[in-house]
Structures are given as C-alpha cells and as structure tokens.
C-alpha cells in the first residue's frame, strides 16, 4: 500500500529536510496546523516508512575527527 501525500505532508517533509531539530510546535506553525494533527501526520509518515530517521549532520573537521587514511 502506497501512502498518498498531500500538500501539508510534503511541507512537513520539506521542513524536516531543512532542519530536523525543529520542535513539533514550530513544525505545526510552519504548516498551519495545531500540534495534535501535526503529530498524527508525522506518526503516519514514520509508520509508513517515508520518514525513517531524524538525524544531525556533523562536520568532522569542526570537532577534530579525522577519517582514517589507507596507506601503501
């Protein structure tokens, strides 16, 4: 079964792609919903597998991590 996405679902996903740290209240405000319907939409997107994870992208050099290098 494929989940049908409406305009609000797409807006939620767009905002989360930009900043996954947004609070539920901030997300709801940005898509003109109250928190409960916003939370229900997010839950539906998670349960369908469309929204898999909310992650933070780190800059390895900013915190001193250096990737291992292969040497010959």
CATH of the domain at 17: 1.10.10.10
Q: How confident is the model at residue 1 (pLDDT cuts 50, 70, 90)?
A: low
Which tops the pLDDT comparison, 56 or 13? 13
Please indicate, yes or no, if residue 71 is contained in any of the structural domains: no
Is the Cβ–Cβ distance between 44 and 3 less than 8 Å? yes
Flag whether 39 is in a domain.
yes
Find, among 6, 34, 22, the residue nearest to 45 by Cα.
6
The answer to whether residue 67 is domain-embedded is: no
Over the stretch 53-63, which tens digit does the pLDDT of each residue have?
Answer: 888 788 888 87
- pTM for this one? 0.76
CB-based contacts of 36: which residues, under 8 Å, 6+ apart? Answer: none
d(CA 42, CA 26): 13
Q: What is the pLDDT of residue 60?
A: 81
Residue 40 in this model has a pLDDT that exceeds 60: yes
Question: What is the domain count for the chain?
Answer: 1
């Amino acid at each position: 079964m494929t989940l049908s996405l409406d305009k609000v679902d797409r807006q939620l996903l767009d905002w989360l792609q930009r900043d996954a740290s947004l609070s539920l209240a901030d997300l709801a405000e940005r898509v003109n919903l109250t928190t409960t319907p916003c939370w229900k939409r997010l839950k539906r997107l998670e349960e369908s597998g469309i929204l898999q994870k909310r992650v933070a992208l780190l800059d390895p050099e900013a915190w001193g991590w250096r990737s291992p290098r292969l040497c010959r």
